[in-house]
Structure 1
Amino acid sequence: MKKTIICSISMKENIDQVVYSSKDKSLPVSERKVRYPICAFLEKTMESNDELEVIILVKKDKKDYYKRNIAFFKEELEAVNKEIGAAIEYKIIDSEFEEHQTVHEQLLKDIVAQISDDSHIYVDITYGPKDLPIILFTTLGFAEKFLNCTVENIVYGQADFENGRAVNTRICDMVPLYCLSSITNTIECTDSDKARSMLNLLLTF
C-alpha cells in the first residue's frame, strides 16, 4: 500500500523515550520505547509490501537540535522496519521558525508538492510549533479533495510531566478534531441561530 507519513520534528534538546499506551483499538501501539509515537503505531500496522513516503517537517532552531532529532526519528523508524522490510523514502522539508504568512504559504506548498496522489496519509503532530497543525489540517483537506488521498490517522502523543519527565504517556488520534474543521464548511446558512442548530445537529451524527 502507498502510504504517506508526515512527522513534525522536535526542536527540543532532549526528548524522552517512553512507552505509549492506547485505549483505542483502532490505534494499536507497540511496547517499544520511542521518542516519536508514530513509530510505535507503525510497528503494529506496517506491512512488508507497504511503500512509505516519509515527509519530515523541520523548523530550524538556533542551536541545531533539529539535526539530531531528525537522526533519532530515522533510527526509530528503521528499527521498527528492520523485521518488516517495507520500502521507505525520506523527504525533508525545512522552514524557518518564523510566524510570517510567506513562511506558512511556502510550507503549505512544499508539503502538497511531496504528497503523492492516491496515498493513505498518517500524521504525527506531537512536536513542532503551534502553526504546524493548522497548516497540516489545510494540507490534508487539499489532499483529500484534490489528490484522491485518504487521511487515516493523525497521531498525538499526550503526556503528563513530573520533574521535567514525561509520564502517563498515551497516544491519541486527532482525526475527529480534523473532521470538525470540515463540518463547518458544509453549513450554508445566513441565520445565526439556525446555523448553531445545524451545527449541533451535525455533531450528533
Structure 2
Amino acid sequence: MKTVIVTMPMKGAVYSLQYPVKGNSAIEYDGKVMFPINGILAKTLQPKEKVKIIFIVTLGGENMGNEYVKKFKDELLHVTSGINPDISEDIIELPFEPEKKVFEFLLNQLIEKIGKDTEVIADITYGSKPFPFILLCALNFADTFNNVSVLYILYGKIDFPPKPYNPMIYDITSIYYLQKLIGAMENRDAETALKMLNDVFTL
C-alpha cells in the first residue's frame, strides 16, 4: 500500500503543465498536470493498488484548499484511468497560523493517518512554509516506530513572470535521509560528521 501526502494551494492560479523530473526520468509523466505528484503516481502505481491520499488543507488566503481537493481527485482519476487504483482519502484542515498548537495537531494527525506498514510519497509544492519541517518529524517517527518507508519527497518548481515556464519536479528525498543521518552522528567528531554529510550529496 502507498500513502500520499499532498499540500493543497491556498489561492487560485494553479497551472496545468508538463513537469520533467530532475534526475529520474523513469518516473516522468509525459502529460500535463496541475499537481506534480499526480504525474508521478500515474507512472508508479500498479493496477488496482491501494493508495491513501492525505490532503493538507490550510484555511487561509482565498480559502480554495477544499476546491483544489476535488480538482486533485479528478485529475488523479484521469491520469490513472488505465490502472484503476483503489483510492481512499483523508483531509487535515489547518488554520493559517504558525503556532505551536497547530504544529502539534498536524504532527499527531500525520502520524495517525500515515499509520503502519506503508510506503510514503509526499509533495510539498503547495502549502504553508512550516509544513515541510513537521512532515520530516512525522516521517521520522513513522519510519522509526511504524514500519513506514519513504519513497519520494517531491517539490514542483515553476518560474515566473509573465506566465509560468520552466516547470520541474525535484526529488528531495535525500534531505529526509540527511536529517536522519545527522541524528545518528552523536558519537562522531565534527570533521568526520561533516564529511559524512557532504558524501550524501555525491550519491
Is the Cα–Cα contact under 8 Å of residues 189 and 195 in structure 1 kept in the other structure?
A: no
The Cα offsets for residues 140-172 of structure 1, whole Å up to 9 and x where unpaired, read as 101100110110000110221121x22110111
Moved more, 111-120 or 27-36: 27-36
Match of 1:168 among 162, 166, 169: 166
Alpha-carbon distance between aligned partners in 2 of 1:28 and 1:83, rounded to the nearest angstrom: 16
The Cα offsets for residues 107-129 of structure 1, whole Å up to 9 and x where unpaired, read as 11011111131100000110111
Match of 1:117 in 2: 116
Give yes or no for the alignment of 1:70 onto 2:69.
yes
Match of 1:145 in 2: 144
Is the Cα–Cα contact under 8 Å of residues 122 and 151 in structure 1 kept in the other structure?
A: yes
TM-score by length of 1: 0.91
The Cα offsets for residues 9-30 of structure 1, whole Å up to 9 and x where unpaired, read as 0112120111101242365121
Query: Residue type of the partner of 2:148?
Result: C
Alpha-carbon distance between aligned partners in 2 of 1:44 and 1:37, rounded to the nearest angstrom: 12
Give yes or no for the alignment of 1:204 onto 2:199.
yes
Give the direction of change, closer, same or farther, for the CA distance of 1:62–1:169 in structure 2 (3 Å limit): closer
Give the direction of change, closer, same or farther, for the CA distance of 1:147–1:57 in structure 2 (3 Å limit): same
Q: What does 1:6-155 correspond to in 2, within 5 Å? A: 6-25=5-24, 28-155=27-154
Structure 2 unaligned residues grouped into runs of 5+: none
Match of 1:195 among 147, 169, 190: 190
Is the Cα–Cα contact under 8 Å of residues 144 and 151 in structure 1 kept in the other structure?
A: yes
Alpha-carbon distance between aligned partners in 2 of 1:201 and 1:98, rounded to the nearest angstrom: 36
Deviation at 1:199, TM superposition (A): 2.4
Deviation at 1:39, TM superposition (A): 0.3
Q: Give 3-state SS (helix, strand or coil) of 2:73's partner.
A: helix
Give the direction of change, closer, same or farther, for the CA distance of 1:28–1:64 in structure 2 (3 Å limit): same
Identity of aligned residues (%): 31
The Cα offsets for residues 73-93 of structure 1, whole Å up to 9 and x where unpaired, read as 111111122211110001111
Q: Give 3-state SS (helix, strand or coil) of 1:11's partner.
A: coil
Query: Residue type of the partner of 2:175?
Result: L
Q: Give 3-state SS (helix, strand or coil) of 1:204's partner.
A: helix
Is the Cα–Cα contact under 8 Å of residues 9 and 56 in structure 1 kept in the other structure?
A: yes
Is the Cα–Cα contact under 8 Å of residues 10 and 61 in structure 2 kept in the other structure?
A: no
Paired residues in the alignment total 200
Alpha-carbon distance between aligned partners in 2 of 1:15 and 1:171, rounded to the nearest angstrom: 15
Query: Residue type of the partner of 1:21?
Result: P
Match of 1:177 among 175, 178, 201: 175
Q: Give 3-state SS (helix, strand or coil) of 1:155's partner.
A: strand
